Structure 1
Amino acid sequence: MGNRRGNERSVRDYADSDMEMMPRLFALLLIVLEWTRPGLPSPLRPICDLRVLDHFIKEARDAEAAMRVCKDECSVGVSLRVPLTRVDFGVWEKKNMEEQAREVQTGLWLLNKAISSLRTSISNSALHSHLDASIRNIASIGQVLRSLSIQDYVPTPGGIDIQETWRVSSALELFQVHINFLRGKVRLLLANAPVCQQDVS
């Protein structure tokens, strides 16, 4: 009986880890298909396909759903600083690519710091898998930006404009910010990257 339960648990753990890998495998498949697609004079760079970002957004939504049902276990001891997600399109369009990239990279840095901080305060291993996936996805987005020849920018706490941030006091709020930031400023930056615009034209 004990052996059977152990086997069921290991099968379930294996299935869970398999499910976590699916979005990454799909993203890799998109990249390979774009590279090998025949008949196009100048195929789109695979990383310009925003469906890759959609998978990161879906994983952030999964994490948000997990935090929604988690109560005391997901309490935040201290408020966490996160980026503002609203976009004033008039102001955004007046910024050059470097300024937009810095704003996005600063926001990703803040989200990474907040999610990492949340992880240290939560003991539930099931929730850890969502938090770890979110941290990995933020790192992957950084790689996407580098692939588009967007210069790296690592902010320092003293160099962050406090006017462009606010604080959240729950895990649920944190992931709502994460989703909105990916859907807003990150998507805008990727969609308007010069290398993607050149490939479309």
Structure 2
Amino acid sequence: MGNRRTYWPNRADTERGYADSAMDFPRLFALLLIVLEWTRPGLPSPLRPICDLRVLNHFIQEARDAEVAMKSCSEGCGLLESVSVPQTTVNFDDWEKKNALEQAQEVQSGLWLLQQALNLLRASVTNAAINNHVDNSIRNLLSINAVLRSLNFQEYTPPASVVGPEATWRVSSAAELLQVHVNFLRGKVRLLLLDAQACQQDVS
């Protein structure tokens, strides 16, 4: 009888697997809720995706993690050129005067600008850890767009020309870009989801 060899998984590999699963959960959770909304029969008021904003809050935390990581990065983590980003400040009087479609278009325009800017950052960064953060951020933006479509907002069509200067500004560093990313999610994206879903929830 030959000797049996038993393989015990490396602890680091196991912990890495758990971490990857935890990072994927919010995206899977958002997708599941969207599918439930589309497939549940006979409900006059179907379940709204990420109604309690836990998924968005997780995306905001991941954006903050990317910002912190970028601030501590010393090599291979810069932008090669300046990029356009959305304005993050919110004038609540002006916001409330806009209808839901106008609010959604403003948010979708900002998400599109951030995605273009993060794609440029992804192409210029050589630091592997920062690349992982940027990849997560891009995937999260795509997930948010999917949620907006599930709320019956029409799909955003990118402009043929550059967006007007009143709606954008330019940043020249990766740290500034990631700070804008955090602030936009915390501000206009959160406001739109709260207004569109009319949920009662605890918002951290």
Shared fold by TM > 0.5? yes
CA root-mean-square deviation? 2.6
Of residues 111, 115, 120, the one that matches 1:117 is 120
Looking at structure 2, the residues matched to 163 and 157 of structure 1 have their Cα atoms a distance apart, in angstroms, of 17
Over alpha carbons, which structure has the higher Rg? 2
Looking at structure 2, the residues matched to 18 and 65 of structure 1 have their Cα atoms a distance apart, in angstroms, of 22
Relative distance call for 1:49 and 1:8 in structure 2 (3 A) is closer
- Counterpart position of 1:24: 27
Q: How many equivalent pairs are there?
A: 184
- Counterpart position of 1:3: none
What aligned pairs does 1:23-172 form with structure 2 within 5 A after superposition? 23-25=26-28, 27=30, 31=33, 44-158=47-161, 160-172=163-175
Write 1 or 2 for the structure with the bigger share of helix: 1
Relative distance call for 1:170 and 1:157 in structure 2 (3 A) is farther
Which sections of structure 2, spanning at least 5 residues, go unmatched?
1-9, 38-43
1:19 Cα deviation from its structure 2 partner: 4.1
Name the TM-score, length of structure 2 as normaliser.
0.79
1:13 Cα deviation from its structure 2 partner: 5.2
Identity, % of aligned positions:
55
Stretch deviating more after TM superposition (17-26 or 176-185): 17-26
- Counterpart position of 2:41: none
Relative distance call for 1:43 and 1:125 in structure 2 (3 A) is same
Which sections of structure 1, spanning at least 5 residues, go unmatched?
1-6, 36-40
